[in-house]
Amino acid sequence: MFALVAALAGCGSPEAADSAQPPAGSTTTKAAPTTVPAVLPGAEIVGDPLRTKWCAMISTEPVGKYGSENYARRDFDACGLFVLSEDYENSFEVRVGAGQKPGSATSGDRDAGHGLTVATVKSTKTECVQHVVFDDGVRIAVEAEVMIGSFAVSMCEPMKAMTEHVVDYLLAGKRPGTVDAGAGTLRDADACELGAAAVEKSARFQSARHVPEADDPCRWALPRTGETLYVEFGVEQDFGQDGGVATVAGRDTVTDTSVEPSQCHLYGKHREESPGVHEVVRITVVNDAEEPYTLCAEAKEFAAVLFPMLPPAA
């Protein structure tokens, strides 16, 4: 639902992306930086430096025969490539990014070797999704979807071509990508687990129901008040540079009500990832019937329960 207000982290090359460090407690071993041919000439990625590997995994090679690259979109947890037909009438997007566990059974799973499985999650003429699944359950999603017009081929064709590229990338010894993919996916899961534990202990949100959405897995609803609660992990650049820093449960926090009048975003500092860039926990409370200052008070109350549950900062 919300795109995290995040840092601009360099993604100009696979080497730049390899500079990201795994999160505290990660046991994944990083391989030496490698060069990948035909990688998009990325400029910046918006979001967590641990997720910048997505741009190194995507390539123009597998989809070049369908048209020309129009432009790339770099989201918080994915990197997308728009492909425009030669007559400029049709376009589709192919994306590589963090894959949540599918809500339904997959089909056509195949063993790609070395602990990798390719699972088909969705297959239609206009939209296809596959997951590259690691033996520890981490998923990389490869998706293709028609954006404008139509194509003579099913979107499963360019998607499968990109999936093969991602698998080749991973099996060619470029496994540092698994650090970033694993961090992006597992940290989302950690946010849900910690959020659920805090909901159980929260006086206000104890009766909230977990109502995940595709883009917001860590989401709870409180029907009696009409409130919705979100918990996310990410990064912020220049945390608190505009002032307004307060302490909640021993952590520096800032609140932001500028996005929507019915929302309050509370950011709690966890650790510094690089100079001026901090890993944060974001708690969002939404209620159309409440004033922002009331929502921020509720966010701070929930943060006081959640923050002590977080792992120690590195």
Q: How does strand 78-84 pair with strand 127-134?
A: unpaired
pLDDT the model gives residue 15: 32
The residue among 33 and 208 whose pLDDT is bigger is 208
- Asked if 211 and 221 count as a contact pair (C-beta separation under 8 A), the reply is yes
Could you give the CA distance from residue 195 to residue 64 in angstroms, rounded to a whole number? Answer: 43
Does residue 186 lie within any of the structural domains? no
- 42 & 110 share domain: yes
pLDDT the model gives residue 83: 86
Task: Give the mean model confidence (pLDDT) for residues 46-52.
Answer: 40
Does residue 150 lie within any of the structural domains? yes
pLDDT the model gives residue 287: 92
120-155 pLDDT, tens digit each? 888 888 999 998 887 766 678 888 988 888 887 888
Provide the number of structural domains found in the chain: 2
- 162 & 250 share domain: no
pLDDT the model gives residue 184: 38
- 172 & 268 share domain: no
pLDDT the model gives residue 38: 28
Does residue 59 lie within any of the structural domains? yes
- Asked if 194 and 292 count as a contact pair (C-beta separation under 8 A), the reply is no
102-123 pLDDT, tens digit each? 655 567 688 887 778 898 888 8
- 150 & 228 share domain: no
153-204 pLDDT, tens digit each? 888 899 999 999 888 877 765 443 333 333 333 355 678 888 999 999 999 9
pLDDT the model gives residue 189: 60
- 244 & 173 share domain: no
Measured in residues, the chain has a length of 314
- Asked if 180 and 17 count as a contact pair (C-beta separation under 8 A), the reply is yes
Alpha-carbon 243 to chain mean position: 28
- 148 & 214 share domain: no
pLDDT the model gives residue 62: 87
pLDDT the model gives residue 84: 85
Task: Give the mean model confidence (pLDDT) for residues 55-81.
Answer: 74
Could you give the CA distance from residue 146 to residue 132 in angstroms, rounded to a whole number? Answer: 21
Cβ atoms < 10 Å from Cβ of 109: 14
pLDDT the model gives residue 148: 86
Winning range, highest mean pLDDT, from 66-75, 179-188, 211-220, 232-241: 211-220
pLDDT the model gives residue 196: 93
pLDDT the model gives residue 4: 28
- 34 & 112 share domain: yes
pLDDT the model gives residue 35: 29
Domain span holding position 94: 8-180
Strand, coil or helix: what is 308?
Answer: helix
Could you give the CA distance from residue 309 to residue 120 in angstroms, rounded to a whole number? Answer: 36
- 35 & 85 share domain: yes
Residue 235: pLDDT over 60: yes
- Asked if 223 and 275 count as a contact pair (C-beta separation under 8 A), the reply is no
- 53 & 169 share domain: yes
- Asked if 144 and 137 count as a contact pair (C-beta separation under 8 A), the reply is no
Which residues fall within 8 angstroms of residue 129, CB to CB, at 6 or more apart? 120, 121, 122, 123, 141, 142, 143, 159
Does residue 279 lie within any of the structural domains? yes
Does residue 77 lie within any of the structural domains? yes
- 17 & 153 share domain: yes
Rounded to 5 degrees, what are φ and ψ at 241?
-65, -20
Could you give the CA distance from residue 19 to residue 25 in angstroms, rounded to a whole number? Answer: 17
Which residues fall within 8 angstroms of residue 157, CB to CB, at 6 or more apart? none
Encoding tokens for residue 54? Answer: 């997505």
Encoding tokens for residue 211? Answer: 């109502």
Beta bridge partners, 122, equal 129
Could you give the CA distance from residue 233 to residue 116 in angstroms, rounded to a whole number? Answer: 26
Does residue 189 lie within any of the structural domains? no
Residue 92: pLDDT over 80: yes
Rounded to 5 degrees, what are φ and ψ at 82?
-90, 135
Does residue 264 lie within any of the structural domains? yes
Residue 1: pLDDT over 60: no
- Asked if 29 and 38 count as a contact pair (C-beta separation under 8 A), the reply is no
Beta bridge partners, 272, equal 278
Task: Give the mean model confidence (pLDDT) for residues 81-90.
Answer: 83
Least reliable range by pLDDT among 13-27, 201-215, 258-272, 298-312:
13-27
243-302 pLDDT, tens digit each? 789 999 999 999 998 878 899 999 998 877 667 777 788 999 999 888 888 999 999 999
- 30 & 81 share domain: yes
Does residue 211 lie within any of the structural domains? yes
- 146 & 274 share domain: no
Could you give the CA distance from residue 112 to residue 24 in angstroms, rounded to a whole number? Answer: 29
